[in-house]
Structures are given as C-alpha cells and as structure tokens.
A and B are shown apart, each in its own frame.
Chain A
Amino acid sequence: MKKLLLGLCVLLALTACDNKKEQTLSKPVIKIGVIDALSGKYAENGQNVRQAIEFAKQDFASSDIDFEFVFEDYGYETKRAAVATNKLINVDKVDALISWSSMAGNVVSPLADKAKLVHFAICNDANVAKGKYNFTHFTPSGPLAEKLVKQIENQQAKSVALFAVYQPALQKHTDAVEQLLQSKGIATERFNFNMDSLDFDLMLEKAKQHNFDVWYICALPPSLDIFLKTFFQKNINVPLVAIDSLLFAQDKAIVEGMSFVTTPDGNKELLDRLTAANGSTNYFSVGYAYDVASLLMKAYSDLYKTTGKIPSSDEVADYLLALKGYHGAVGELVMDKDGIIMSQAVVKKMINGIPTEVEE
C-alpha cells in the first residue's frame, strides 16, 4: 500500500515538474490553453468547440509563429475547471487561455488575472470580462431578448408565460426577456425548473389556466424534450417562442418548422466542415470558438510582425481592446471597453431537422 501511494506521488510529481521537450524549431511557439467540457453532459458541444479551434488553427496562415493549442477537460465541474486551469498555467506554461461556458469562465477569470494571461471566455457573462486580461465572446442576452420580444410584440401578445431552466446563461436570457416585456407593459409569469426536471404536467396545467397569449421556453435536454412532448400532447394552442433551446431538442421532428431566436453559428463552410469531421449538427458555440482562437492568433501574429518580438499579455490585451470591424465567423465583431465582443442575434427555423437561419 505504501509503495502504491509513494508511486502515485512520485508519478504525479514527475509529470507535473516535467519540462516540455526543448523547442528545436526556429519559429517561436505560442501556447494557448483551452478549458473545455470534453466529457460529461455537454461533451458533444465541448468536442465541437475543440474541433472549431482546430479548424481555426489550420486556417490561420502565419509564417512567423507556430501556435499550439493544449486542451484540458473540466467535465463541466468547477473544481476540475480550477485544476485544469492551474495545470495549463503552471505545467504547460501557456501564453493565453480560452474557456467555454459561464461556469468555466468565472473560475478561470481570476486565475488568468492573477497570472497576467489573456483569457478569452466563450460565454455571455459580463462578470467574466472583469480585469484587464479577460474578454468574452458570445451574443449577450440583450440582443437575443430584443429580437424575441419583437417577435412577441408582432403577435400582439398581452401576457407571456416564461418557462426557464436553472442554468446560468439561460436564466440570464430569461431575465432579460422578462425585464424587456415588463418595460413594454406585457404581463409575465415565470416558471423555473431544475435541470433534471422530468415531469411538467402540473406546471403546464397551471399555466394553461391563465390563458397566456404566448409561451416561452428556455431549457436544455433532458427536461427540454419532456417539456416539448408534454406541451404538444396537451394540444396547447398557443404560440411557443424560444431562445436557443430548440437547437438542442433530441427529437427534431417535434420542432420541425418552428422558428426561434438564437446566436449565430458561424459561416456555412465552417459548419459543413464540422459535420464532415464528426457528424454533428449541434453547432452551438462553434463560430465563437473559431473566432476566439482566430483573434488570439491574429493578435500575437500582428504584434510579432510589428515589433519583431513575442508580445506580452499587456500588449495582446491592448490589441484586443482596440478591435474594430473584424469579420468573424459569427459576423462583424466589435469589442466594447469592458472586453466584451458584441454580436447580433439571429432567427432560425428548424428545416428538415437542421436549424437554418431565416430572414425575419
């Protein structure tokens, strides 16, 4: 037993202290660490994010710098996100960080600030962008809510039932929708539920009695699919609107023909490549991941060309803060003064099981 423990400690110490192979390449290498949910319930999204970053690396033509991406899984758990980030900073000695999801972003943000490393989070939580080195890229709740409320107003609705799962990003979307609806004099009632809720019978019956003009859903599987099935089984003859959610419906047939407000995925070429690479049509976050990796590589590359030396984190942060009119995979990107990239919401329709962007 003692030998086993000793062995485990020695192995851990050796691996942690292991210096990476000496660089024999003449070109400088910039390492970018990625904290991604490669296992667990969001693994499909996480793997697609990884693939998009790999594509960005393949597409970025730099003759001056070699870019290396080091991926670490955090399985959508805070403690693992903290350990993965520490490994990337202290063992892999990365030059910059990318994280995926608000949860990971919140964990990585203070660590990146402490280590003075540029951190780009693929999330829409403004708290994550606090500090000089932290940036976020994901369509914020504001533009999504505005587009959705416009749809609701077009339906002359006077009252809306808001069904939302307890998930950070989706709660933020729903908060924004609720505030905007109330500011326009439209009555709302909120129905929140847990991620693992599997029975909506009573909740939907209760909402049905109030005769809301429009129902809104913001959820994730498995509760989303059960909500949708219950909704259609009950023949609730009320327009159902959504932010993001329908993208994740497992049974695409049930939502065929429905439109919803969501974030842009990225250009068609990128999405086709992704589907060809791993057969997935779940494009959530893909375009943002591609943009974030491309932007970081562009920042390092441009600054290196100008100064002839590897730029510091401060220089990269200043460069990113000055970003204007960059055409990314999800459209025209503008960085605000807080390090948050603003991008627009889009309307999509489920056509033949594939979320397809449509004109409003």
Chain B
Amino acid sequence: MEYLINLAILFSIYSMLALSLNMVIGMSGLVSLAQAAFYGIGAYATAIGMTSLGLGFFTTILLGIVINVAIAFVVGKILARFQYDYYAIVSAGLSVIVFSILLNWKKVTNGALGIYGIGKPVVAGYAFYSNSAFLGLALLFTAAIFALYVWIDRSSFGRVLKALREDERLTHVMGYKTKYYKSVIFVLSAALSGIAGAFFASYIAFIDPTTFQLKEGIFLFTIIIVGGLSSAVGSIVGALILISLPEVLRFVGLPYEIAAQLQQIIYGALLVLMMIFKPQGFFGKFRM
C-alpha cells in the first residue's frame, strides 16, 4: 500500500505539471518545451528556501511562483512573437539556459552536487511526514489546479485562447490582443509548474539539475500527447499511464540481465501502439 501511495504522490506531481503544460500547448496551441525549467526553478526555490533560508514549505511555494512569474513574464513577452516550431525552439532554449544556471551557479544551487535534506511541509504545527498525509496535500493542490484548468477552459478567456490556437491571425483581426493572451497563459502555466517543483523537492528530499533537463520537458510533452491535448482529464490520464506503466513492468518478472533494457523496449513499444491506435491521445480535443 505504501508503495502505491508513493506512486500516487509522483502521479499527483506529474498531473500538476501536465495540467499546467496543457494550458499552454493544448488550450492555446503554443508548443512550449520550457516546462522543465519552471519545474526546476520551483523545486530549487523550495530546496534553497527550506535548507538555507529556513523558510517554510508554503512560503517557498510562493517564492517559486514569484520567481517563475517574473521570468515567465519576460520570456513570455519574447515568446509571444513566435508561433509553432519557432515557439518550441525558443522555449527549449529557456530550458537549456535554466539547466546551465542550475549547474553553474554553484554558490546558490550547489551545482552538480545538488541539494539534500529538503524538509516536509508543516501547517500549524502539523508536519506532513507520513506519505499518506503528503499525498493528501499534493492531491489537494492537484484538484485546485484541475479546477482552475476547467474554469479557464470554460471562461471567455479560455475561448479566446482556443480561437488563438485555431487561427492566431484571425483572432487578432477580431480585435483580441493575442500577445497578451499568450503571455498571460504562459505566466500562469509557469507559476503552476513551480508548485509541482516544490512538491517534488519536498517529496524526494534531494534534487540535482539532471532532473530538470530538456528531456524532462519532452517527457511532460509526451504525457499530454498520450492523455490528450486540451483536456484536463487527458492530462491526468496521461500522467497516470506514463508514471504507472514503467512500474507495472517492474513486476513482469524478467531475468535481471535483460530486465531493465526489455522494460524500456516494452515501454517504448506500448507508447508507439498507443499513438497508432489513439493518435489524438485518450481524451484529446485537439490534434497538432
């Protein structure tokens, strides 16, 4: 049971990330690969805040959000000038820059050695040391982000984002400031990724820059493609599949000499099959 709780925590963290990414890619059609960067900034804000500055978990969440909003605001302004693959390339660039900073700014981030001993959240004297309590808290935040997603999706703001996704020029001609909409959703998504990063840092208790590389951004991208673009449920389902599938494969009972490699092959093959039979993802409302 404890193992399932641990998996559920990870699932919850990746659901937050997938929901925040789907706001940018699914809802707005902006192919962002910068999510790992904001995820990393959130994680480091919590790690540094809790271990070096003596801040509480929730204060570090706020700190991560503030930093992410500030960065996303500046980067979002630049990104708003781009579309499609150009948007992807520029956003991937941000991911590479942040990874390099996490590695090189040794005095603050401890470089490649990472930061260990990150604590658990404490609310009014109650510490979320047990995994089930931590899971409860993570699920609460996931539910809040889910609700926010659904609310935006149904709002007039969300409808403009979807219009922008379908035809940015036409939306602009109709009088909407498309750059403003693109920037706002990018900033919001970055802030939410920071929350997921804070939970990750506190859960694992150790972080190093390798977790927040561009490949993590691609993994998140895969989650929402498999689950379905522009769908809150799809984000959750995608996270569930991509987090639990490798774990299910641990129980297949293959010989140790080949188990790890075979698990990777099976995992890859299953993803290919899913894409063949469900090219739009499981709950996709939009296909790129």
Contact = CB atoms under 8 A, between A and B. Distances in A.
A41 to B, nearest CB: 11
Interface string B1-30: 111101100100000000000000000000
Contacts of B103: 166, 194
Contacts of B261: 38-39, 43
A133 interface: no
A16 B210 contact: no
Given A1-B282, A167-B112, A168-B113, A87 B250 contact: yes
B10 A83 contact: yes
Given A38-B259, A78-B207, A106-B206, A11 B248 contact: yes
B281 to A, nearest CB: 11
Query: Of B113, B250, B251, B282, which is in contact with the most chain A CB atoms at under 10 Å from its CB?
Result: B113
Given A78-B206, A107-B204, A192-B104, A43 B260 contact: yes
Interface string A266-301: 000000000000000000000000000000000000
A63 to B, nearest CB: 25
Interface string B108-150: 0001111011000000000000000000000000000000000
Nearest to A196: B213
B117 to A, nearest CB: 8
Contact of B241 (A8, A46, A79, A110): A8
Interface residues of A, number: 50
A12 B210 CA distance: 28
B207 A5 contact: no
Nearest to B2: A90
Interface stretch (A69-77, A144-152, A209-217): A69-77
Contacts of A192: 104
B250 A47 contact: no
B264 A168 contact: no
A137 interface: no
A138 to B, nearest CB: 15
A71 B256 contact: yes
Q: Which of A50, A84, A103, A106 has the most CB of B within 10 A?
A: A106
A218 to B, nearest CB: 12
A204 to B, nearest CB: 19
B210 A87 contact: no
A77 B211 contact: yes
Contacts of B112: 166-168, 170-171
A90 B8 CA distance: 14
A82 interface: yes
A78 B112 CA distance: 13
B11 to A, nearest CB: 10
B3 A75 contact: no
15 contacts: A8-B248, A11-B248, A38-B256, A39-B263, A78-B208, A78-B210, A80-B246, A90-B2, A103-B206, A110-B117, A125-B113, A166-B111, A167-B112, A171-B111, A194-B100
Given A5-B237, A83-B247, 6 more contacts: A12-B244, A16-B4, A71-B259, A72-B250, A86-B7, A127-B117
| Pairs A-B, 5 closest by C-beta atoms | A38-B260, A39-B260, A73-B260, A15-B251, A90-B2
